[in-house]
Amino acid sequence: MSIEVKNIQKQFGEFTALDNVSLSFPTGELVALLGPSGCGKTTLLRIIAGLENPDGGVVHFHGEDATHVHVRQRQVGFVFQHYALFRHMTVFDNVAFGLSVRPRGKRPDKKEIAERVHDLLKLVQLDWLADRYPDQLSGGQRQRIALARALAVEPKVLLLDEPFGALDAKVRKDLRRWLRRLHDELHITSIFVTHDQEEAMEVADRIVVLNKGKIEQIGTPDEVYNNPATPFVYDFIGQVNLFHSRVNEGWAHIGEIKLPAPEHPQVRDHAAVAYVRPHDIELQALPGEGFISAVIDNISTAGAVLRIELRHALADDVIHVELPRSQERLLNLHPGSQVYARPTNSKIFLQNR
Amino acid sequence: MVGTVSSLGRRATRINHAVSEPFWVQFILITIALVFLALFLVMPLVAVFKEAFSKGIEVYFASLSEPDAWHAVKLTLLAAAISVPLNVIFGVSAAWAITKFRFHGKHALITLIDLPFAVSPVVAGLIYVLLFGAQGWFGPWLADHDLKIIFAVPGIVLATIFVTFPFVARELIPLMEEQGTSYEEASLTLGAGGWQTFWRVTVPSIKWGLLYGIILCNARAMGEFGAVSVVSGHIRGQTNTLPLHIEILYNEYQFAASFAAASILAGLALVTLVVKSFLEWQHTRDRERAARAALQEI
């Protein structure tokens, strides 16, 4: 089922949580709402679920106005950050809850409910835990049970609020791959909220980047990472180096060197910021055209890539560089040694006066 | 390898020393606690029963089977039986409103709930005399309609409700605040109605706090003296509750009878405590059994 929100406005006292947000979520996609805390992503999710009322704007489910439909009738599956499993019920009763509270006419009989619950527990690979209580489970197991419980009512939409936020790093990684596979199996329209850009990149079909109650960019993980629409997105997704520069007729000048700025051909002498990813910088031992003279300040070899911090004459900030480990042998990389750096890819954003 | 193990072991013992007091401090603390308990809790309880039986078991039962004593017990139980359920309903709805909704005047409501704790019970009793007494605001109207509140059972029930007002709500508010609203929200998204959510999600999760609140409320309802004393009028066989009965007997130098009645009151308190412990024991046993069953399955 497709979801559409139009001109959503939400205010908490003086604080604007959502400012005129319009978005559509196509059927069967897994979409991530990504942003820093306080950007309005959870509020948007709760408005879609019907747990919060917007001050203005409408929510459409499959083309029909659902703004004033009660949570009960919306048929959304909601997974909470801290699971919200009913502690006094066994895993089985938790998953069966949505079916057992149905009005008598629509309620499946006991045998049917038991079958459905066991099918769902098998789907989340935890059918051997049916008789346990939630506090006897690990965090990852609880989250999977919470998902099974949400799926039991056959929701048309699945909404997940920071589903992996309370888990440790290893479980998180396993669980998000598992969620991706599950989604590929079920193809249920899903929206999940996260502040972790890596998580959004790995799991989502599309990413909506939010900041201060407004949408910064909508796109596939690839588009958002490689072609950030705004400086905020550039900054928020992945590490980035900033260079203050002046743009003149398609070129950004940073001290001695210049970077191409083909998107601003008409601009004359305008302040701008150049954004360069750490892995879009090459190093060499000898000076060359367009290379910045720099000294290695720090070097970290713990991890899949070499992380290097460079001091240079253009600014006080260090330049962060990431190189493949194979470069370790080719260059003389020690703190204090002289190198020459050149951005191979950059994006220039003009600064507002 | 051996070196690592031993150094880890040494560190573990050092941490133990760091967080625990020396032996003599522990000894003194435990002794103080035990002496305090014995002096202020156990000894008075023993004294009550010793005095009650001081003139022999016949006198004990005779003083209890007296109609006035029997009536006092029934009146006390009646007052508790009316005021406790009313305060449970009020306490749960107040705690629910305060913790699950945002509204203006929330703090004023919390302060109001605490009022009976702050006001002396005697003042509480006098308020009712002022309102419903013969010279009170509603006195003439009540007299015209032949209704009696002060110096009658309704007055006693009203005074009891007033003094036990905060117990259930006060017990539940912090508990429900800590639990937040996500359980109820989860229930609603799963299609449950408000009433279903209340009975199947909220009540079970506040069960133990609620039970504790009821027990405290009940204990106070049965033991209340000050407020009830003002509105009751001390009419034997009619408006004397058990605490008032005890006082009258004591003032008439009938010590054995007075302590016999006191032992009933203490006995009622002990029964509520036993009930509570039993329920708690059953609760943990169920949990453990489920855990064991789960472990066997693996």
Q: How do strand A206-211 and strand A30-34 relate by DSSP bridges? A: parallel
Per the listing, tokens 């400086």 go with: A231
**Higher-confidence position of A20 and B4:** A20
In whole angstroms, what is the distance from residue A95 CA to residue A132 CA?
A: 12
> Helix (H, G, I), strand (E, B), or coil: what is residue A219?
strand
Q: How confident is the model at residue A29 (pLDDT cuts 50, 70, 90)?
A: very high
pLDDT tens digit sequence for B142-157: 778 877 777 888 888 8
Using the Cβ of A166 and the Cβ atoms of chain B, whether some distance falls under 8 Å is answered with: no
pLDDT above 70 (res B3)? no
Contact (Cβ atoms closer than 8 angstroms) between residue A297 and residue A318: yes
pLDDT tens digit sequence for B222-235: 888 888 888 887 77
Using the Cβ of B297 and the Cβ atoms of chain A, whether some distance falls under 8 Å is answered with: yes
Per the listing, tokens 């954003």 go with: A349
pLDDT above 60 (res B5)? no
In whole angstroms, what is the distance from residue A328 CA to residue A306 CA?
A: 8
Cβ separation A149–B190 shorter than 8 A: yes
pLDDT value, residue B11: 47
Distance from chain centroid for Cα B206: 16
For A152, name the nearest residue in chain B, comparing CA atoms only. B190
Using the Cβ of A145 and the Cβ atoms of chain B, whether some distance falls under 8 Å is answered with: no
Mean per-residue pLDDT over chain A, rounded: 88
* Among the listed residues B176, B275, B280, B268, the one whose alpha carbon sits nearest the alpha carbon of residue B224: B268
Cβ separation B183–A78 shorter than 8 A: no
Q: How confident is the model at residue B1 (pLDDT cuts 50, 70, 90)?
A: very low
pLDDT value, residue A326: 82
Cβ separation A78–B186 shorter than 8 A: yes
* Nearest beta carbon to residue A84 from set B182, B192, B193: B182
Using the Cβ of B186 and the Cβ atoms of chain A, whether some distance falls under 8 Å is answered with: yes
The pLDDT > 70 percentage for chain A reads 100
For A126, name the nearest residue in chain B, comparing CA atoms only. B298
For A76, name the nearest residue in chain B, comparing CA atoms only. B189
DSSP A67: T
Question: Cβ atoms within 10 A of the Cβ of A227, count?
Answer: 13
Phi-psi region of A187 (alpha: psi -120 to 50; beta: other; left: phi over 0): left
Cβ separation B187–A97 shorter than 8 A: yes
Cβ separation B189–A78 shorter than 8 A: yes
The pLDDT > 90 percentage for chain B reads 15
pLDDT value, residue A176: 87
Task: List the structure tokens of A204.
Answer: 């989502």
For B291, name the nearest residue in chain A, comparing CA atoms only. A132
Using the Cβ of A104 and the Cβ atoms of chain B, whether some distance falls under 8 Å is answered with: no
Contact (Cβ atoms closer than 8 angstroms) between residue B131 and residue B137: yes
Using the Cβ of A101 and the Cβ atoms of chain B, whether some distance falls under 8 Å is answered with: yes
> Helix (H, G, I), strand (E, B), or coil: what is residue A206?
strand
pLDDT tens digit sequence for A129-187: 888 888 888 888 999 999 999 999 889 899 999 988 878 888 888 888 888 988 998 88
Residues 6 or more apart from A239 whose CB is under 8 A from it? A277, A278, A320
In whole angstroms, what is the distance from residue B71 CA to residue B79 CA?
A: 12
State whether ipTM is beyond 0.95. Answer: no
pLDDT value, residue B88: 93
Identify from A78, A94, A191 which residue to disrupt to test chain B contact, counting B C-beta atoms within 10 A and taking the largest count. Answer: A78
pLDDT above 80 (res B209)? yes
> Helix (H, G, I), strand (E, B), or coil: what is residue B7?
helix
pTM of full prediction above 0.80: no
Q: How do strand A206-211 and strand A189-194 relate by DSSP bridges? A: unpaired
pLDDT tens digit sequence for B266-298: 888 888 888 878 877 887 887 777 667 666 554
- CA contacts within 13 A on the Cβ side of B75: 28
Residues 6 or more apart from A243 whose CB is under 8 A from it? A252, A254, A259, A273, A274, A276, A314, A315
Show residues of chain B in contact with A72, CB under 8 Å: 188-189, 191-193
pLDDT value, residue A258: 84
CB neighbour class for B90 (10 Å; exposed up to 12, middle 13-18, buried from 19):
middle
Identify from B101, B183, B187, B189 which residue to disrupt to test chain A contact, counting A C-beta atoms within 10 A and taking the largest count. Answer: B189
pLDDT above 50 (res A195)? yes
Cβ separation B189–A131 shorter than 8 A: no
Cβ separation A86–B186 shorter than 8 A: yes
* Among the listed residues A136, A123, A73, A74, the one whose alpha carbon sits nearest the alpha carbon of residue A95: A123
Q: How confident is the model at residue B6 (pLDDT cuts 50, 70, 90)?
A: very low
Using the Cβ of A154 and the Cβ atoms of chain B, whether some distance falls under 8 Å is answered with: no
Show residues of chain B in contact with A84, CB under 8 Å: 182-183, 185-186
Mean per-residue pLDDT over chain B, rounded: 83
DSSP B30: H
Q: How confident is the model at residue B7 (pLDDT cuts 50, 70, 90)?
A: very low
In whole angstroms, what is the distance from residue A130 CA to residue A169 CA?
A: 26
Size of interface A-B (CB pairs under 8 A): 78
Q: How confident is the model at residue B102 (pLDDT cuts 50, 70, 90)?
A: confident
pLDDT tens digit sequence for A247-301: 888 888 887 788 888 888 888 888 888 889 999 998 888 888 888 888 888 888 8
* Nearest beta carbon to residue B183 from set A49, A86, A132: A86
Cβ separation B193–A90 shorter than 8 A: no
Question: Cβ atoms within 10 A of the Cβ of A224, count?
Answer: 28
pLDDT value, residue B17: 63
pLDDT tens digit sequence for A213-236: 999 999 999 999 888 889 899 888
* Nearest beta carbon to residue B191 from set A51, A88, A153: A153
pLDDT value, residue B10: 45
Q: Per this entry, what is the length of chain A?
A: 353
* Nearest beta carbon to residue B185 from set A51, A77, A149: A51
Question: Cβ atoms within 10 A of the Cβ of B105, count?
Answer: 8
Show residues of chain B in contact with A105, CB under 8 Å: none
Using the Cβ of B202 and the Cβ atoms of chain A, whether some distance falls under 8 Å is answered with: no
Cβ separation A72–B192 shorter than 8 A: yes
In whole angstroms, what is the distance from residue A329 CA to residue A209 CA?
A: 39
Residue by residue, DSSP assigns A293-337 as: EEEEEEEE-SSSEEEEEEEESS-SSPEEEEEETTHHHHS---TT-
